[in-house]
């Protein structure tokens, strides 16, 4: 145990084994207990610092049946980890403050302080971690802490780490195997913040380029100056920061300058290689304060996931008032509080889940409406309405979107309604009313299907996504529905498909082993090429290698729908190949 905690185990009593007493303050009048560990403290300190704990203590002291009568002092039970609680108490009492050693534990400490509404303690802890620079600066740890800050709803830490993340390029490809660090909802907020920062930066930097930068880098001679008389390369560099904030880095400036001076080595009119170091420093400071300002203004653009969810929950209202099936003997209640009167026997027949649930004795605290027991479900009224319409001999209500259909399938999966699920898959989904999801909806469908374990729909949607670019821009709000692992899986799926395509094109482009390209050998161009290990006529060879190269370069920014894309280019290329009867013949018979 750390020696920085004074008053530790000052006294031992029979009911307080030494090892379990982590904190013993003079004049203690209550015991806080967490996971078997005890903290003897005077309650006034706690009550003054936390309205939440104050209320909890008042209730514990006021309860007549004190379950902890055997202890020497009243005991208040807390759910938090005892190590975190110990650190928390060091910020309440006049003792040496104890900050946990890992950023993860620091986040937990902040989260506990926030939960108990200890405002001054929060400030105190934050001062301390700011002085120690306890938050990470490299990408992967920053993403982890950002994810925790989002999870616990700690805005200052989410902002600090989000800014750190922006020191790195932000694309799906760059994040790659780090995509499973956080749920899509937190990643979406990071992306929105990133977009907002770029917008603000771009406009601030534009102004800087026009009016201010010239002041810090005046009198420079270069072959090409911008309209505001600063070297053109420098102007370009400043502009690039607005597109990728990670380029605001002294090393990047030096790289840009080195590239320029190398190009201009023989140009006497360029003096960029000999810019005085104090000029560069002044320029960098001026640029830095613009960037800081922009980030400051972008602060409000970072939302916490939980705030957005609260907002969504508020605007959600239902058009269903209640749903009565005559002589129902049981009520299921939707997430938006609509009661559905149904029959136990019907639900039990359709669903082993409900059969088990209904065979259990009614819990003592269960709710009754008009004498009927109520079971609260997490599905919306709209969804339950559809589900019940399939169970009963009434007009089937089919959801009006593919997305809602997926949620209906998910509810069937959860309640083990196998035959209902089969009915939806065979009757509804194959009916043509719900074609495969298109565009960004393919990604949304994949996200929902994967999180709900709907394998056929997940595979189908994954294939569909290949027809579209996979970027943060394209995914948009759909990103919020992704589980981290699902996004990672989809990236890997895309990479595998890309690799397969590249290999497949390889087999067309090479003569050995004899591949599917033999059929083109009759073209006079191809036969003359054969000795160069090429078998395809030049026009086709060029077309396929061009596609192969673009596949290697852009697996995420372009669609992978090689078939439809190549087909169009194939016809154009064939036509421009001219009047080669041989190729036309092959095209007509085998193309």
Positions in the binding site for Zn ion (CB under 5 A): 222, 231, 270, 272, 523, 537, 580, 583
CB of 88 to Zn ion, least distance (A): 58
Residue 74 contacts residue 68 (beta carbons within 8 Å): yes
CB of 580 to Zn ion, least distance (A): 3
Nearer to Zn ion, 270 or 350 (CB): 270
Nearer to Zn ion, 420 or 523 (CB): 523
Nearer to Zn ion, 266 or 314 (CB): 266
Nearer to Zn ion, 19 or 255 (CB): 255
Residue 476 contacts residue 469 (beta carbons within 8 Å): no
Residues 6+ apart with CB under 8 A from 446: 458, 461, 462, 464, 465, 486, 490
CB of 208 to Zn ion, least distance (A): 19
Residues 6+ apart with CB under 8 A from 60: 30, 74, 75, 76
CB of 213 to Zn ion, least distance (A): 15
CB of 574 to Zn ion, least distance (A): 9
CB of 287 to Zn ion, least distance (A): 18
Q: Which residues pair with 31 in a beta bridge?
A: 40, 75
CB of 534 to Zn ion, least distance (A): 13
Helix (H, G, I), strand (E, B) or coil at 566: helix
Nearer to Zn ion, 101 or 579 (CB): 579
CA 148 to chain centre: 12
CB of 281 to Zn ion, least distance (A): 18
Nearer to Zn ion, 78 or 220 (CB): 220
Nearer to Zn ion, 467 or 522 (CB): 522
CB of 551 to Zn ion, least distance (A): 25
Nearer to Zn ion, 138 or 254 (CB): 254
CB of 226 to Zn ion, least distance (A): 12
Residues 6+ apart with CB under 8 A from 265: none
Count other C-beta atoms under 10 Å from residue 559's C-beta.
Answer: 15
For residues 506 and 502, what is the distance between their CA atoms, to the nearest angstrom?
6
Inter-axis angle of helices 402-414 and 440-451, nearest 10: 10
Residue 536 contacts residue 511 (beta carbons within 8 Å): no
Q: Which residues pair with 374 in a beta bridge?
A: 331
Residue 576 contacts residue 584 (beta carbons within 8 Å): no
Count other C-beta atoms under 10 Å from residue 211's C-beta.
Answer: 10
* Alpha-carbon torsion angle 303, 307, 308, 310, nearest 10: 180
Find, among 486, 474, 461, the residue nearest to 559 by Cα. Answer: 474
Find, among 514, 548, 519, the residue nearest to 533 by Cα. Answer: 514
Nearer to Zn ion, 90 or 261 (CB): 261
- What distances in angstroms separate CA 153 from CA 148, 188, 300, 306, 441, one per listed residue? 8, 15, 14, 7, 29
Nearer to Zn ion, 209 or 341 (CB): 209
């Amino acid at each position: 145990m750390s020696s920085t905690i004074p008053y530790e185990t000052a006294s031992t009593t029979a009911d307080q084994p030494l090892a379990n007493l982590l904190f013993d303050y003079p004049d203690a009048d209550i015991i806080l207990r967490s996971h078997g560990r005890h903290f003897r403290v005077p309650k006034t300190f706690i009550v003054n610092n936390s309205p939440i704990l104050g209320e909890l203590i008042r209730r514990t002291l006021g309860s007549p049946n004190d379950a902890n009568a055997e202890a020497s002092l009243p005991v208040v039970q807390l759910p938090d980890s005892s190590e975190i609680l110990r650190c928390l108490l060091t910020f309440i009492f006049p003792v040496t403050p104890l900050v946990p050693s890992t950023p993860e534990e620091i986040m937990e400490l902040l989260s506990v302080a926030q939960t108990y509404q200890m405002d001054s303690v929060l400030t105190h802890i934050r001062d301390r971690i700011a002085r120690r620079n306890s938050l990470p600066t490299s990408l992967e740890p920053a993403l982890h802490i950002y994810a925790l800050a989002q999870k616990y709803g700690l805005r200052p830490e989410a902002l600090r780490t989000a800014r750190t993340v922006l020191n790195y390029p932000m694309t799906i490809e760059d994040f790659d195997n780090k995509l499973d660090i956080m749920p899509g909802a937190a990643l979406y907020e990071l992306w929105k913040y990133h977009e907002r920062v770029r917008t603000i930066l771009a406009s601030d930097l534009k102004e800087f380029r026009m009016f201010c930068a010239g002041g810090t880098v005046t009198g420079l001679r270069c072959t090409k100056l911008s309209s505001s008389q600063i070297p053109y390369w420098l102007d370009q560099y400043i502009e690039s920061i607005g597109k990728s904030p990670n380029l605001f880095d002294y090393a990047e400036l030096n790289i840009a300058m080195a590239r320029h001076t190398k190009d201009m080595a023989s140009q006497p009119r360029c003096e960029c290689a000999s810019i005085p170091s104090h000029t560069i420093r002044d320029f960098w400071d001026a640029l830095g304060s613009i960037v800081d300002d922009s980030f400051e203004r972008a602060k409000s653009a970072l939302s916490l996931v939980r705030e957005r969810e609260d907002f969504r929950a508020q605007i959600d209202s239902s058009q269903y008032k209640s749903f009565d099936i005559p002589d129902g003997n049981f009520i299921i209640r939707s997430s938006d509080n609509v009661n559905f009167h149904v029959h136990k026997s019907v639900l039990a027949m359709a669903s082993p889940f409900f059969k088990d649930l209904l065979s259990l004795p009614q819990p003592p605290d269960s709710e009754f409406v008009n004498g009927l027991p109520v079971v609260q479900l997490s599905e919306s009224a709209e969804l339950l309405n559809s589900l019940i319409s399939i169970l009963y001999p009434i007009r089937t209500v089919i959801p009006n979107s593919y997305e809602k259909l997926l949620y209906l399938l998910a509810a069937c999966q959860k309640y083990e309604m196998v035959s209902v699920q089969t009915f939806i898959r065979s009757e509804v989904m194959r009916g043509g009313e719900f074609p495969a999801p298109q565009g960004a909806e393919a990604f949304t469908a994949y996200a929902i299907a994967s999180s709900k374990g709907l394998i056929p729909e997940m595979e189908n949607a994954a294939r569909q996504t290949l027809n579209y670019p996979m970027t943060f821009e394209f995914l948009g709000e759909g990103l919020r529905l992704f589980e981290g692992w699902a996004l990672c899986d989809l990236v890997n799926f895309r990479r595998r498909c890309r690799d397969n395509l590249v290999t497949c094109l390889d087999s067309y482009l090479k003569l050995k082993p004899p591949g599917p390209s033999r059929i083109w050998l009759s073209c006079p161009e191809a036969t003359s090429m054969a000795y160069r290990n090429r078998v395809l006529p030049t026009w086709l060879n060029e077309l396929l290698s061009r596609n192969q190269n673009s596949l290697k370069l852009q697996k995420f920014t372009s669609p992978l729908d090689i078939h439809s894309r190549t087909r169009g280019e194939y016809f154009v290329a064939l036509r421009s190949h001219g009047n080669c009867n041989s190729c036309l013949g092959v095209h007509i018979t085998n193309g």
